[in-house]
């Protein structure tokens, strides 16, 4: 569980994950579309604007719930997709790489949507 006494500092640190979105520019330079998944990190810059001071147990609980949603999605989709790829007639490494990129980007998207949903829900 998150340390609720330093939640303001944790929010600022979470915002710096947005700089990982710059790695997505390698996709433009190398014409390799698998790098574009890193553009999803630009959404974390929104946490740099947030003003959270002191303790915020509800925010910590929302992050815990959102992380749980992303984890459950990853476990279910990764297990079923790997099984489907292995059952395919000609499984390729490229299909496995595309699957991991899809799961990575979808996991970040589910986390962000879940945080927004739980924040607006209010409980």
Domain coordinates in residue numbering, the chain:
4-121
Q: Describe the crossing of helices 93-121 and 57-87 by its angle, rounded to 10 degrees.
A: 150
pLDDT tens for 8-48 read 555 567 778 888 888 888 888 888 887 887 887 888 787 77
- In a 3-state reduction of DSSP, which class is residue 92? coil
Q: Which token pair is 32? A: 């390799």
Query: pTM for the full model?
Result: 0.61
Burial of 59 (0-12, 13-18, 19+ CB in 10 A): buried
Q: Distance between CA atoms of 33 and 37, rounded to whole angstroms? A: 8
């Amino acid at each position: 569980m998150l340390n609720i006494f330093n939640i303001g500092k944790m929010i600022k640190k979470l915002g710096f994950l947005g700089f990982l979105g710059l790695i997505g520019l390698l996709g433009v330079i190398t014409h390799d579309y698998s790098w574009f998944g890193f553009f999803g990190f630009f959404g974390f810059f929104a946490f740099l604007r947030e003003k959270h001071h002191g303790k915020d147990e509800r925010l910590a609980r929302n992050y815990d719930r959102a992380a749980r949603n992303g984890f459950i999605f990853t476990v279910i989709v990764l297990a079923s997709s790997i099984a489907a790829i292995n059952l395919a007639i000609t499984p390729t490494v490229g299909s496995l790489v595309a699957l991991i990129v899809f799961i990575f980007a979808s996991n970040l998207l589910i986390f962000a949507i879940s945080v927004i949903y739980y924040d607006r829900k209010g409980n």
